[in-house]
A and B are shown apart, each in its own frame.
Chain A
Amino acid sequence: MKLTKLLTTAAVALGLATTAMAQDKTKVGFVYVGPIGDGGWTYEHDKGRLAVEEAFGDKVETVYVESVAEGPDSERVMTQMALDGADLIFTTSFGYMDPTINVAAKFPNVKFEHATGYKRADNVSTYSARFYEGRAIQGHIAGRMTKSNIIGYIGSYPIPEVIRGINSAFIHARKANPDVQFKIVWAYTWFDPAKEADAAKVLIEQGADVVLQHTDSTAPQAAAQEAGNVITFGQASDMAQYAPFPRVSSIIDDWAPYYIARTKAVMDGTWTSTDTWDGIGAGMVGIGEISDAVPADVKAEALALKASLADGSYHAFTGPLNKQDGTPFLAAGEVADDGTLAGMNFYVEGIEGDIPQ
């Protein structure tokens, strides 16, 4: 009895001590959807976290929880982080949107930052990157390089973010090559190497010689490498270990500057709820080196496209464009506004198949 009491007191004292120590530092929490070693999406977010640690040193303490399932589980993780004294919490997947809003309502003094969502509150900001700009470049290279005219696309979940990427890639692939067809497979996961590898293999078996992926692991790259004549693009991270072939380029997410700026804002007390959506121009979306497997003229076109997207002289969704059912979407010269893009739930004309509901 005595011993248990002693131990309990000691544990409580220890707990208090750690809490007291933590008070001096700004505590930043990160909730990840995959493991930090996924080599893609979560890996880049974790690089952002490490950059925050490096930038602020002793003044900041970061914690993270990886492989958190979207849904109720994530709510528990966020609540725990908030209870443990986090000042700022980054929730880094679309499916954390409602949980983030729920938990934020319970902890008005904790700041939340939700990636790729659209619901905000006084203490919830959203941030995302215009990945579709990178998709446009991938689409162009894919359209120019495909020989079978079949491009495979591994989708994760049918949400606006992913559909936007498919549309952007398709528009630019068609522009480069009017005969291009897209085959789309939904994996219903952000991260499951076995399933992604299977999806890639199936697409290749059905004739695709370009595979684009909106899932986070490098498994499709490995499947393409094995097939031998299929090109791929790094997703979220450079995936340079598969360069120069099959990985011919990539979209790289660079969250570090944003994470550092937002942490600084919390430290200075200047944090306000905002909506950030930056693209190639602001550096949030990087285009990985286009390898020598891409012909020089295609590479030059891709870089020109990148430059025009970066300086804003060209928008990836520029009319004339129709929706899949043939109804007009954008008039000639018109560009899509951010609201339409954020809620995009339709394919553009020319894509076959239906978006699963």
Chain B
Amino acid sequence: MDLSAINPILFIAGFLVAATPLIFAAIGELVTEKAGVLNLGVEGMMITGAICGFAIAVETGSPLMGFAAAAVGGALLSLLFAFLTQVTLANQVASGLALTLFGLGLSALLGQSYVGIKPPRLGDMNFGPLADIPVLGPILFTHDIILYLGFALVAATWAVLKFTRAGLILRAVGESHDAAHALGYKVVRIRTLAIMFGGACAGLGGAYISLIRVPQWTEGMTAGVGWIALALVVFASWKPWRLLLGAYLFGGITQLQLNLQGVGVAIPVEYLAMSPYLITIIVLVILSRDKSAAPACLGRTFHASS
């Protein structure tokens, strides 16, 4: 066992990349849930975003166009969920699961002619002298722009939810849709927008996998990241900064597991593989004593007549 073979700088830089798809998907779901909607279709929206982004990036030759298309694709798919749950008042859990299955199928169909193609690369940002700082330089300043966007998105979500009127209204809708309605806020419209934001973010997260992390298209390539994102929102008890921390933790564990194997440490891999879920369960147990964490109207349907 020789731990010195693990380069800590590359390791940390590696898990920042591994965590980014999680950050996008989870921050989108966090906003959706803050508005009182439980969308279990994250996996479906991610994979749809992954193929939309991949296809457009290949067709236009521009990865950034691909990311834009991924956001649009994810948002469009989430609109279907919004229609089902906000207009026809269908059950959110069932609709969300259906959305995941639908997204997996749809993406496989869309992606048929894109198997085995190499997408255009999105280059790393150039920070000039900053990248030459020892230790910090290679960790923080050698990434692509989308990774920084994910970080900025978390900060922005936190600020908007905490300090702005829009954030207050969004939280009000999630805590008590009846009260928000009585105050004259358009609950359905606000929730639809939140769902679309969640869809767009999930789409971006999916595209990050297909365009940067892997980078290629294969069916089912998101492989459960959407479900981890859902667990992560609970883990973070609906708080953006905790979510960022959790994403790095989960991303770090996957990287650590592979690194340890590479240097020959005999840790049963299964323990590390299930640790994100274990931690989430423990956090859930602790959280259950604190009833204030989850938005009060999470998962409940709203109709103006009620």
Contacts and interface: CB of A to CB of B under 8 A. Distances in A.
Contacts of A67: 219-220
B118 A356 contact: no
A206 B7 contact: yes
Interface in B213-246: 213-216, 218-223, 225
Contacts of B254: 195, 198
B6 interface: yes
A213 to B, nearest CB: 14
A38 B5 contact: no
With most chain A CB atoms within 10 A of its CB, the pick from B7, B111, B112, B258 is: B258
B220 A35 contact: yes
A350 interface: no
Given A185-B258, A186-B261, A356-B268, A37 B14 contact: no
A37 B218 contact: yes
Nearest to A37: B115
A206 B116 CA distance: 27
Nearest to B273: A188
B258 A353 contact: no
B255 interface: yes
A249 interface: no
Contact of B258 (A192, A199, A356): A199
A241 B7 contact: no
B102 to A, nearest CB: 16
Contacts of A35: 108, 218-220
B143 to A, nearest CB: 13
Contacts of B14: 198, 201-202, 205
Interface string A119-162: 00000000000000000000000000000000010000000000
A354 interface: yes
Nearest to A204: B10
A226 B209 CA distance: 15
A152 B220 CA distance: 26
A219 B269 CA distance: 21
B105 to A, nearest CB: 12
With most chain A CB atoms within 10 A of its CB, the pick from B5, B219, B262 is: B262
Interface string A176-217: 000000011110100111110111011101110000000001
Contacts of A37: 111-112, 115-116, 218-219
Given A197-B213, A222-B215, A241-B116, A205 B11 contact: yes
A199 B18 CA distance: 12
A348 B239 CA distance: 51
A352 interface: yes
B269 A186 contact: yes
Given A186-B261, A193-B218, A198 B115 contact: no
How many of chain B's residues touch chain A, expressed as a range?
Answer: 35 or more
A202 B218 contact: no
Contacts of B258: 185, 198-199, 202
B265 to A, nearest CB: 9
A225 B118 CA distance: 11
Contacts of A192: 223
Interface residues of A, number: 36
Contacts of A206: 5-7, 259, 262-263
A218 B10 CA distance: 23
Contacts of A353: 264, 266
A186 B258 CA distance: 8
Contacts of B220: 35, 67
B264 A352 contact: yes
A197 B261 contact: no
A99 interface: no
A244 to B, nearest CB: 14
A95 B41 CA distance: 30
Interface string B269-286: 110010000000000000
Interface string B203-219: 00000010001111011
Contacts of A117: none
Interface string A337-357: 000000000000000111010
A165 interface: no
A194 B223 contact: yes
A89 to B, nearest CB: 23
Nearest to A351: B264
Contacts of B5: 206-207
A279 interface: no
Interface string B10-40: 1100100010000000000000000000000
Interface of B: 5-7, 10-11, 14, 18, 108, 111-112, 115-118, 121, 209, 213-216, 218-223, 225, 254-255, 258-259, 261-264, 266, 268-270, 273
Interface of A: 35, 37-39, 67, 152, 183-186, 188, 191-195, 197-199, 201-203, 205-207, 217-219, 222, 225-226, 241, 352-354, 356
Closest CB pairs A-B (n = 10): A353-B264, A37-B115, A35-B219, A202-B258, A205-B10, A185-B261, A197-B214, A206-B262, A193-B214, A193-B221
11 contacts: A35-B218, A35-B219, A35-B220, A38-B219, A39-B218, A185-B261, A186-B269, A194-B222, A202-B255, A205-B11, A205-B14
